[in-house]
């Protein structure tokens, strides 16, 4: 081996060691992971609030993401590759891909099991504008059911395929963990499934309230659910039996939604109005609109609940907000169409929760 090759090898080894050291440091201080639709996964060290590296997922167009309870594996849903990536967060190396199906999007990870929504329908583009005509796509596209793939991450395989309603979006779990609740965008409904068998137990129509349910969350005390209606500018509040209680007006195109850890406030990312809305869950009065960025769909609190980070796809940034003062404190630039964000240790957010 030539001296130049030897030096090159040593340099590559040193750079790799620096990357691993940075990732390890990020994990020890608390870490956020951001999926970039035009790139890979950005790693954000929360102590310094800075990007310290990337995870190569071996695929393109990552959207939804989740992390195992021990923080070892990060899971991304890769739209163009129709699979998920399982990545070791310590080494930064891809563990494996698992084939899912067309248009994988939303991911929830519980323990070492991942729940991944995907849409066999050819129509994955925009739906009707508020008050407008139906989207131009095949007549049957809105009738083809979406699915939820249940993946054993250790075994690296799909162990159950749950047939949902058209265009499955956000997923949530009942407080006892026995039921899976899915927001069905084209069907304007929530569907409830037995988590062990996938059996459809109940369908809750939201059509009288509006169009395109996307995000859904259970309150920390388990007393009620909230779901966002993207094309109707509403938040619908339901009791623990999924019976609608009230509707709350939001900004335009609400998507990501999350409670804070106390359950006293609920946060809604209103995409078109470029604000993070904050509501008091006792009165449902608006507390504040926090100006953010462009196409901010998903967000997460930091594990210490002090800050909120939003992935803003069209402004290519992560916006950082003080969770108490509700003021923007930083903007992390250089992202490539960020879609979603989760943290380890797990924290409250539109894609995950402790």
Q: Is residue 310 domain-resident?
A: yes
Q: Is residue 183 domain-resident?
A: no
Q: Is residue 330 domain-resident?
A: yes
Q: Which of 125, 156, 191 is the last residue of a domain?
A: 125
Instruction: Give yes or no for residue 128 having a pLDDT over 70.
Output: no
Order of strands, edge to edge, in the sheet holding 328-333? 296-301, 307-312, 317-322, 328-333
148 contacts 162 by C-beta, under 8 angstroms:
yes
Q: What is the pLDDT of residues 27-57, one digit of tens each?
A: 456 999 999 999 999 999 999 999 999 999 9
In the prediction, which pLDDT does 28 show?
52
Q: Is residue 272 domain-resident?
A: yes
In the prediction, which pLDDT does 252 show?
98
Q: Is residue 58 domain-resident?
A: yes
Number of domains in the chain: 2
Question: How many CB atoms lie under 10 A from the CB of residue 138?
Answer: 11
Q: What is the pLDDT of residues 246-301, one digit of tens each?
A: 999 999 999 999 999 999 999 999 999 999 999 999 999 999 999 999 999 999 99
Q: Is residue 294 domain-resident?
A: yes
CATH classification of the domain holding 83: 2.40.10.480
Reference 339, options 60, 52, 25, 51; nearest CA is 60
321 contacts 328 by C-beta, under 8 angstroms:
yes
In the prediction, which pLDDT does 121 show?
74
Q: Is residue 207 domain-resident?
A: no
Cα separation, 255 vs 270, in Å, equals: 6
Reference 277, options 249, 238, 305; nearest CA is 249
246 contacts 284 by C-beta, under 8 angstroms:
yes
Cα separation, 99 vs 147, in Å, equals: 13
CATH classification of the domain holding 327: 2.120.10.30
**What is the span of the domain harbouring residue 76?**
30-103+118-125
- The pTM of this model reads 0.88
Instruction: Give yes or no for residue 133 having a pLDDT over 60.
Output: no
Cβ partners under 8 Å of residue 149, min gap 6: 100, 101, 104, 114, 115, 116, 117, 118, 158, 160, 161, 162
Identify the bridge partners of residue 311 per DSSP, sorted by sequence position: 298, 318
Which of the 8 DSSP states describes residue 264? S
Q: Is residue 96 domain-resident?
A: yes
Average pLDDT score over the chain: 89
* Percent of the chain surpassing pLDDT 90: 85
Q: What is the pLDDT of residues 94-127, one digit of tens each?
A: 999 999 999 999 999 999 999 999 998 745 444 4
Rounded to an integer, the average pLDDT of 187-208 is 97
292 contacts 278 by C-beta, under 8 angstroms:
no
């Amino acid at each position: 081996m030539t001296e130049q090759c030897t030096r090159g090898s040593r340099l590559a080894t040193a750079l790799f060691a620096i990357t691993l050291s940075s990732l390890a440091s990020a994990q020890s201080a608390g870490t956020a992971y951001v999926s970039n639709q035009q790139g890979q996964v950005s790693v954000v060290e929360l102590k310094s609030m800075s990007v310290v590296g990337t995870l190569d997922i071996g695929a393109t167009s990552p959207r939804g993401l989740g992390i195992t309870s021990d923080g070892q594996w990060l899971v991304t849903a890769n739209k163009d590759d129709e699979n998920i990536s399982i990545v070791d967060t310590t080494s930064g190396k891809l563990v494996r891909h698992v084939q899912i199906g067309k248009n994988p999007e939303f991911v929830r990870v519980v323990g070492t099991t991942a729940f991944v929504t995907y849409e066999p329908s050819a129509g994955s583009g925009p739906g009707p504008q508020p008050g407008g005509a139906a989207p131009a796509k095949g007549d049957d596209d809105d009738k083809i059911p979406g699915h939820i793939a249940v993946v054993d991450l250790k075994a690296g395989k799909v162990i159950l395929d749950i047939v949902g309603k058209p265009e499955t979006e956000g997923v949530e779990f009942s407080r006892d963990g026995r039921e899976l609740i899915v927001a069905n965008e084209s069907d304007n409904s929530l569907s409830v499934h037995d988590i062990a068998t996938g059996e459809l137990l109940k369908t809750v129509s939201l059509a009288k309230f509006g169009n395109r349910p996307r995000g859904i969350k259970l309150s920390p005390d388990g007393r009620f659910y909230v779901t966002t209606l993207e094309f109707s500018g509403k938040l619908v509040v339901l009791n623990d039996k999924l019976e609608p209680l009230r509707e709350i007006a939001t900004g335009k195109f609400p998507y990501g939604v999350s409670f804070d850890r106390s359950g006293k406030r609920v946060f809604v990312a209103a995409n078109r109005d470029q604000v993070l809305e904050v509501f008091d869950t006792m009165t449902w009065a608006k507390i504040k609109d926090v100006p953010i960025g462009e196409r901010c769909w998903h967000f997460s609190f930091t594990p210490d609940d002090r800050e909120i980070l939003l992935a803003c796809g069209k402004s290519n940034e992560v916006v950082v907000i003080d969770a108490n003062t509700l003021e923007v404190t930083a903007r992390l630039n250089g992202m490539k169409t960020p879609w979603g964000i989760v943290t380890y240790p797990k924290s409250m957010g539109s894609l995950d929760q402790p």
